[in-house]
Amino acid sequence: MNSDKAKNGYQRSPHRSLLKAAGYTDWEIDRPWIGVANSFNSIIPGHVHLKTITEAVKAGIYAAGGLPLEFPTIGVCDGIAMNHEGMKFSLPSRELIMDSIEVMAKAHAFDGLVLVTNCDKIIPGMAMAAAKINIPSIVISGGPMMAGKLAGKKIDLNSVFEGVGMLSAGKMDEKSLKEIEDNACPGCGSCSGMFTANTMNCMMEVLGLALTGNGTIPATHAGRVRLAKDTGRAIMALINKDIKPRDILTKEAFDNAVAVDLALGGSTNTTLHLPAIAWAAGLNLSLDAFNEIGARVPHLCSMSPSGQHHIEDLWMAGGVQALMAQLLDKNLINGECITVTTKTVQENVAGTEVLDSEIIRPLNRPYHKVGGIAFIKGTLAPLGAIVKQSAVSPEMMVHEGPARVFECEEDASKAILNNEIKDGDVVVIRNEGPKGGPGMREMLTPTSAIMGQGKGGTVALITDGRFSGATHGAAIGHVSPEACTGGPIGLVKDGDIISINIPEKRLDLMVSEEILAERRKKYVPKCQETSSHFLERYRTFATSGVEGAVLKDQ
């Protein structure tokens, strides 16, 4: 065992003495050491209950013969960090989480890891750590929040953000917004739509890093605690069979994840996190895969924010495993991939059926004939950009309009909320990329305001930053190269015509090369100032959005 180096022999007597000071007996110390990374904090609603989940995990480990050794990790609530300086710290926290787990795992010679997580950057940060460290590891999430209810309709966090836009447009009063605010988030769990957290929890299940049910069993259901206990037992089976993350995280497993993501209509942030996890596993996941796989895998689930269904509905319809069974039946995913159950995908989903064909539609009756996310390129995004095409209204799939240029998110949000954006405009927010922000902020406030004002069918938004999983509408992000590194988005001026053609995967600035050449001579790239030494270090090493915004090794 890996832990033998820290506990065996007379030379390790001081080490054992320290463990005994923590209350552990000789026979406990002799067990395999399982690090349990608990991302509990009292800020994030998706994490406030993780003490309960962690205790269940530890019970499962202990019952199966292991010694659970709990330690904490940080976590940022993207919703609370939204639309101010705090969001600059969200994406960089992913790397900090990965590194902190590596420090704990290697410093203490753990034999295995259980990663207790739930929200946006914590999930991929933990998965990246598992892939980097490559000792037997398994992920367990805290589960999704139930949808809120108001006047007989389901609502969620996105309803509140869009309510702000409706209020600014005079379509709602403050009393009505307060009612939405009070009812949209009824309890613990990751926000109830197919936003980034829930998309990534589903991806953990599809990649094979988590047990069946990880993506959809509600946070408040007793099944979530049972799953946590089973997760604790499962890590011991992985150790006994010496199955490591890189045995699971194969090219075929990532292809499966992309296929299911596209069928679900998941968050555009998966185009950051799946490549980042692949990078940590020593693989390369090109964003071209989203177009290639999306051409044959249709969009089958109409989930909030662009649809009416929530994660609890997907759970009741059979869960991620039912969707996977349907895709496997048509050879659209690989059934031979090994998973943390020690069984294959095919074995895991055997006998699973779709229980509601409106929530998980059959392949011959999709919501859209192509997958939910598109990777697009053009003169405005030579290296590429990302759009959730399943969330774009039909009239905006092809659009040309004049640019309204803003140098940061705050300026754009102010103009939108002041009703300064006109039908047909293309809002451009730059200097918000991994380096320019720094930190690549999400743009949920401006996109939600546009939707709340009823302009989702007339106004587009383009940025070198990124979007919340709760964003919908003609929102194109991750534009690369970003403005801070000299990308063409930095050359755009008010009134320039921008052409968007999502079916043809094009994003173009309709300005002649001669004019752009003149602008380049005078252009000095701008990067937002920060007083944070942490963010300055991140800026120095961060790669582009289409490279997963990982940190360069050198």
pLDDT tens digit sequence for 191-220: 999 999 999 999 999 999 999 999 999 999
CA pseudo-torsion sign 241, 242, 245, 249: negative
Q: Please tell me the number of Cα atoms within 13 Å of 337 on its side-chain side.
A: 26
The model's pLDDT over 74-100, given as tens digits with 9 standing for 90+, comes to 999 999 999 899 999 999 999 999 999
**Collapsed DSSP state (helix, strand, coil) of residue 309:** strand
Full pLDDT tens readout for the chain, 554 residues: 999 999 999 999 999 999 999 999 999 999 999 999 999 999 999 999 999 999 999 999 999 999 999 999 999 999 999 989 999 999 999 999 999 999 999 999 999 999 999 999 999 999 999 999 999 999 999 999 999 999 999 999 999 999 999 999 899 999 999 999 999 999 999 999 999 999 999 999 999 999 999 999 999 999 999 999 999 999 999 999 999 999 999 999 999 999 999 999 999 999 999 999 999 999 999 999 999 999 999 999 999 998 999 999 999 999 999 999 999 999 999 999 999 999 999 999 999 999 999 999 999 999 999 999 999 999 999 999 999 999 999 999 999 999 999 999 999 999 999 999 999 999 999 999 999 999 999 998 999 999 999 999 999 999 999 998 878 889 999 999 999 999 999 999 999 999 999 999 999 999 999 999 999 999 999 899 999 999 999 999 999 999 999 998 76
- Contact between 111 and 238 under an 8 Å Cβ cutoff? The reply is no
- Contact between 188 and 145 under an 8 Å Cβ cutoff? The reply is yes
What values do phi and psi take at 437, rounded to 5? -60, -55
* Residue 17 CB contacts under 8 Å (≥ 6 apart), including other chains: none
Q: Which residues pair with 507 in a beta bridge?
A: 500
Burial class (CB in 10 A: 0-12, 13-18, 19+), 9: exposed
Q: What is the DSSP letter of 422?
A: P
- In this predicted structure, what is the pLDDT of residue 9? 95
- In this predicted structure, what is the pLDDT of residue 554? 61
User: Cβ atoms within 10 A of the Cβ of 221, count?
Assistant: 18
* CA 157 – CA 288 distance, rounded (Å): 31
**Omega of the bond prior to 438 within 30 degrees of 0, cis?**
yes
Rounded (10°) angle between helices 90-107 and 270-280 = 20
- Rounded (5°) CA angle 491-82-536: 60
Average pLDDT, the chain: 96
- In this predicted structure, what is the pLDDT of residue 553? 77
User: Cβ atoms within 10 A of the Cβ of 102, count?
Assistant: 15
- In this predicted structure, what is the pLDDT of residue 291? 97
Q: Which two tokens stand for residue 332?
A: 């659209």
Counted residue by residue, the chain has a size of 554
Task: Find the catalytic residue in 39, 390, 468, 480.
Answer: 468
- Rounded (5°) CA angle 34-40-43: 170
468 in active site: yes
**Collapsed DSSP state (helix, strand, coil) of residue 492:** coil
What values do phi and psi take at 428, rounded to 5? -115, 120
